[in-house]
Structure 1
Amino acid sequence: MAGLRDVDPRHFAALVAVHEQGTFANAADALGFTQSAISQQIAQLERAAGVTVFDRPKGPRPAELTPAGEALLDFARRTLTRLDEMDERLDLMRRGIAGRLTVGTFQSASAELLPNIIGQMRREVPDVDVRLDETDDLDELVNDVLTDETDLAFTVDLEADARLTIDVLGRDPFVIIAPRGEASGRVTTAAEIDRHPLIGQPDTHTGQRMVDDRLIAAGIRPEFVFRFQNNAAVQSMVRSGLGWAVMPSLAIDAHDPGIVVMQTDPPLPPREIQLIARTGRTLLPAADRFRAVALEAASDLFERRSLNPRARRTSR
């Protein structure tokens, strides 16, 4: 049995036009069809609905809606309005100025990169809704992209993976922070670090594992006396004189008067800050704009830091 699922939107448009124009001939002129085409569209609508929608008097009198036709007219108008609204929405999405993006992130990306990125997106495409999902578990960030839970994600030190498209945003050096008064300069050695207790994050964190791997490669056997989830807490404990910490540059507030920020000699390998998407997945055009803005914001950030090493703030 036929039903309204078999109706073409043009059939609804013909119904509305005949009612508003009064005759099949006038409706045909308004829609740019022949009169016979309009008659066929109304006939197809009536077959699908299983009811007569117009009484067709002979002579010049206008076509009259039946009670079923009146009920269907309201539905037809609402349906055509929804179709027009969806056309407009899809047009905005095609042009990259509407839609929703979900972005995975971690603390220092959220604090250092995202404010400029989100600010620029709001200025350029205010109708794009950017949702953020923050975690310090980098494996979770990758998995969420691969399972389409998020569209894009900031990550660190991923190796080439055919499943992922990876944009490199910049390289973030690891630094040592010590309580003011415990360090004599801006450079320290592995041997000096090895003589101090360390404060870090839980050893289950992928970020902390990166720190541990770099320390071990430098010949340091780290002894952690305290571990905290939040890097601000790590820095606070260092300020209190309870130990030193090894942290990414983006993760510290170098303006803190209670600490000294030091480089290592030789330097610890930097971490690579990345933005990833799943290879082969079609995203909104707004995602391309987000990626472009992220690359620009990261370039700006790392250039400023290279010119002014003390221009660092907030946490990872």
Structure 2
Amino acid sequence: MTDIGLRYLAALAAIADEGTFARAAARLGYTQSTVSQQIAALERAVGGAVFDRPGGPKPVQVTPLGAVVLAHARELLAKATAMTTAIERFKAGDGRIDIGTFQSVSTVVLPRVVRRLRDEHPSCDIRLFEEETDPPQVSELDLVFYDCRVGGDLEHLKLLDDPYLLVATPGAAPAGPVPLACLDGAPMVAYPPTCDQPRLERELARHGVHPLIVFRAAGNEALLSMVRAGLGWAILPRLAVHAAGLWDDTTLRLHTLQPAPHPRQIHLLWQSARSHSPLTERTIAITTQVAHEISHELDDSGATTA
């Protein structure tokens, strides 16, 4: 039975449909002798005749054994056709991609990436997972956005630098760049100590700056609400500021810091040993382009700080 090839089953189905070996051969693009040889090989494999051949102009008849084989042949041929179609769609970029993300990337970067992917490949299956873990969970995903370099068997593609800004209520901080020294002992709201936040706090400590962290939250809106309420200042990356629309927010003021902390770095991660699908390769290319555009737009937007 292992000697049964799809071409034998295709010949069986074509003859059953057309009624003669000659018409089946014309449909398949073979010679009649080739089709006869394929059916002979099939009959040897199944151990009996699959057609009764009355001779003359009369159409051939499927034998009882042939009917059993034909029923399964049609199922196998349909599955083979579906597999071929799926492979062709996969190679064309209409596969599935699983992407890990976090809030400011989800708001600013990914919408552009998803829109362009869907424009190019309307049938692609894009699945997004927003769960910030430290370290990032890359093993089950094709690509992961992350805001710092991590160890392990991972590839890192740096997308952009994301400078930090001080967020305060109007008049709470002096106009212009705010010296880091002003933050020593000052009440601050901040992200939990995961991802890039520990590096930022270590950098402040190296400058002798030890803010009083009075509230931690992963959500940008929670932190901004507490700044508006006067609980404390916040140091947030520019993408988060942009995502929240703070450039035109009259309830808050944005300040650069002097000296400026090293910016957060947004990376795209994937497992080193993983082979990329065409859709993943295209996603990497589009994401790189989008990140470049966003970085330049923010640099050139004319958005000012107090």
TM-score normalised over the length of structure 1: 0.87
CA contact (8 A) 2:113 2:290 kept: yes
> 1:8 maps to what in 2?
5
> 2:191 maps to what in 1?
201
Correspondence 1:226 to 2:206:
no
> 2:67 maps to what in 1?
70
Match of 1:270 among 263, 274, 287: 263
CA contact (8 A) 1:136 1:207 kept: no
CA contact (8 A) 2:183 2:209 kept: yes
CA contact (8 A) 1:166 1:274 kept: yes
Cα distance between partner residues in 1 of 2:45 and 2:304: 69
CA offset at residue 219 of structure 1? 1.9
Residues 212-263 of structure 1: CA distance to partner in whole angstroms, max 9, x if unpaired? Answer: 1221122211321111121210111011111111111111232332211111
Correspondence 1:119 to 2:118:
no
Match of 2:130 among 103, 128, 134: 134
Cα distance between partner residues in 2 of 1:92 and 1:302: 33
* SS of structure 2 residue aligned to 1:140: coil
> 2:38 maps to what in 1?
41
Cα distance between partner residues in 1 of 2:129 and 2:156: 19
> 2:227 maps to what in 1?
238
Q: How many residues are paired up?
A: 301
CA contact (8 A) 2:185 2:212 kept: no
> 1:301 maps to what in 2?
294
Runs of 4+ in 1 over 6 A off after TM superposition: none
* SS of structure 1 residue aligned to 2:209: coil
CA contact (8 A) 1:11 1:42 kept: yes
Cα distance between partner residues in 2 of 1:108 and 1:218: 27
Amino acid at match of 1:290: T
Cα distance between partner residues in 2 of 1:16 and 1:309: 69
CA contact (8 A) 2:185 2:209 kept: no
> 1:217 maps to what in 2?
206
Give the 3 Å change call, closer, same or farther, for CA 309–206 of structure 1 in structure 2: farther
Q: After alignment, is 236-245 or 247-256 more displaced?
A: 247-256
Structure 2: give runs of 5+ residues left out of the alignment: none
Amino acid at match of 2:4: V
Structure 1: give runs of 5+ residues left out of the alignment: none
* SS of structure 1 residue aligned to 2:109: helix
> 1:151 maps to what in 2?
142
Give the 3 Å change call, closer, same or farther, for CA 66–232 of structure 1 in structure 2: same
* Structural mapping, 1:48-197, within 5 Å: 48-96=45-93, 98-141=94-137, 144=138, 147=139, 149-158=140-149, 163-197=153-187
Residues 142-196 of structure 1: CA distance to partner in whole angstroms, max 9, x if unpaired? Answer: xx2xx2x1111112231687x4332221100011111222122131011111141
Give the 3 Å change call, closer, same or farther, for CA 296–128 of structure 1 in structure 2: same
Amino acid at match of 1:206: C
Cα distance between partner residues in 2 of 1:25 and 1:226: 82
> 1:285 maps to what in 2?
278
Cα distance between partner residues in 2 of 1:233 and 1:159: 27
> 2:29 maps to what in 1?
32
Cα distance between partner residues in 2 of 1:53 and 1:250: 69
Cα distance between partner residues in 1 of 2:7 and 2:274: 33
Cα distance between partner residues in 2 of 1:159 and 1:137: 12
Cα distance between partner residues in 1 of 2:233 and 2:288: 33
> 1:249 maps to what in 2?
238
Cα distance between partner residues in 2 of 1:251 and 1:150: 24
CA offset at residue 6 of structure 1? 4.1
Q: CA RMSD in A?
A: 2.3
